[in-house]
Amino acid sequence: MPHKEEHREFTPALYPEFPDGFPTLQLQTVSLSKLLQNDATEQDRVFEQCKGRGFFYLELGGCEAGEMILKLADDIAAVGEDTLKLPMAEKLQYQLQGRSLDGYKLAGASAADKKGTRDTAEFFNVGKNDMIVPDDQMKKPWPAPIKAAKPLFSTYVKTAHGIGMHILSVIASKMGVDPSEFASRHRIEEMSGDHVRITRGPPRATEEMPEIQTPSHTDFGTITILMNWLGGLQVYSVSARTAQLSDGQPDVAGEWLWVKPQKGCAIINLGDAAVKFTNGVLCSGRHRVIPSPGAQGRWPRYSIVYFVRPEDQCVMRQLRGGGIPDGPEEEAITARDWIFRQAQGLGIQFEKEKDK
Ligand SMILES: O=C(O)CCC(=O)C(=O)O
Ligand SMILES: [Fe+2]
């Protein structure tokens, strides 16, 4: 049974407004309902955002899939809270291991810079594949709150994946590529690194906000559907096309801009696989999470992410044709190995530096 409302720390109805005086990034808002009706203007706008910043708001109201995400994201956050409230010894039984992307990540398990500053958020990744198969075909054990909520996760996964795939089909059409090029690399029933990630960041410790909840990164997958309720997400002012990461910081001068959560909207961003598939036509936005601003920082911060990623066996080469510039022949690496390599590049590299 989920905890009663009064014992919850995920209480979106009580959150104060995002405060004034914090520099925010003005993102475009695209309507999912219009996209689903093949509205040409809305399709153009999606494509522009994906070539530019790689981030936009997706208004979810007015269509079944969007309303479903809006309704279920709160329930998923509540299950996440119940899971992250389990005793540490129990959470550690599910710790991320080897190449598996599913399970529990301790706060402090990755470094935000070469000095070894630790991240402060914990999260639990709930794998797509186990949530959409019958119980007797599940490959992994899951904590009781997640197991009990499997139908909820199954619906959320299918809906979020469907939304991601619709956006990819719009992008493909705009580039003059057959949408089946994306569809055939992201079949939901195939094994992949897709998961629902429930993250909890602690309330802000000091007014200065020095902590990093989630270090600066670009997502590894193809497209990300993010739901959050409190500020904390920041996007770098200089596009990830020009600013690379050096010691956890972008190497071109700029500033971190806040992304204000918008009621009724998801935040959509593209990942590195989208850049790879399109040989750089699309952009994956660099972002990080710090404690929520102002009075919002008194609350623990929950977010729900769905990562659409290529199938494990997909060969990570650029698509050819349409508006995609032809690059040289590429190495044959599967998505499973490629994503593992990207993940290692972010965290473990710093751990090694520190050990020297
Ligand atoms: O918590 C958020 O708002 C964003 C989380 C994120 O960027 C991630 O998990 O990749
Ligand atoms: Fe991210």
Q: Which helix (H) or strand (E) holds 82?
A: helix 64-84
Give tens-digit pLDDT for 73-118.
999 999 999 999 999 999 999 999 888 889 999 999 988 888 888 9
Average pLDDT over residues 328-338: 92
Return the ligand 1 atom nearest residue 201 CA.
Answer: 1
Q: Ligand 1 pocket: which of 216, 233, 258, 342 to mutate (most atoms <8 Å of CB)?
A: 233
Flag whether pLDDT at 138 surpasses 90: yes
Of the listed ligands, the closest to the CA of 258 is 1
* Distance from C-alpha of 4 to C-alpha of 11, rounded to nearest angstrom: 11
* Distance from C-alpha of 308 to C-alpha of 220, rounded to nearest angstrom: 9
Strand segments (E) across 114-193: 122-127
Of the listed ligands, the closest to the CA of 213 is 1
Of the listed ligands, the closest to the CA of 233 is 1
Flag whether pLDDT at 199 surpasses 50: yes
Closest CA to 297 of 123, 120, 145: 120
Q: Quote the ipTM score.
A: 0.99
Contacts of 100 (CB under 8 A, 6+ apart): 140
Average pLDDT over residues 35-57: 97
Q: How many residues does the chain have?
A: 356
Check residue 163 and give its pLDDT: 98
287 in ligand 1 pocket by Cβ < 6 Å? Answer: yes
* Distance from C-alpha of 186 to C-alpha of 143, rounded to nearest angstrom: 27
State the distance from the centre of ligand 2 to the C-alpha of 224, rounded, in angstroms: 8
199 in ligand 1 pocket by Cβ < 6 Å? Answer: yes
Question: Global pTM?
Answer: 0.94
Flag whether pLDDT at 356 surpasses 50: no
Cβ atoms of 212 and 290 closer than 8 Å: yes
* Distance from C-alpha of 249 to C-alpha of 216, rounded to nearest angstrom: 7
Query: How would you write 189-204 as a 3-class SS string?
Result: CCCECCEEEEEEECCC
For residue 127, the cross-strand partners are 195
pLDDT bucket at 263, cuts 50 / 70 / 90: very high
272 in ligand 1 pocket by Cβ < 6 Å? Answer: no
State the distance from the centre of ligand 2 to the C-alpha of 288, rounded, in angstroms: 7
Evaluate whether the domain defined by 21-345 bears CATH number 2.60.120.330.
yes
Mean pLDDT (the chain) is 92
Pick the residue whose CA is nearest to atom 9 on ligand 1. 305
* Distance from C-alpha of 15 to C-alpha of 20, rounded to nearest angstrom: 15
Pick the residue whose CA is nearest to atom 3 on ligand 1. 233
Cα-only R_g, the chain: 19
Cβ atoms of 201 and 121 closer than 8 Å: yes
State the distance from the centre of ligand 1 to the C-alpha of 305, rounded, in angstroms: 7
The tokens of 275 are what?
Answer: 């850049």
Check residue 274 and give its pLDDT: 97
Of the listed ligands, the closest to the CA of 218 is 2
Return the ligand 1 atom nearest residue 303 CA.
Answer: 1
27 backbone φψ class: left, alpha, beta (φ>0; ψ -120 to 50): beta
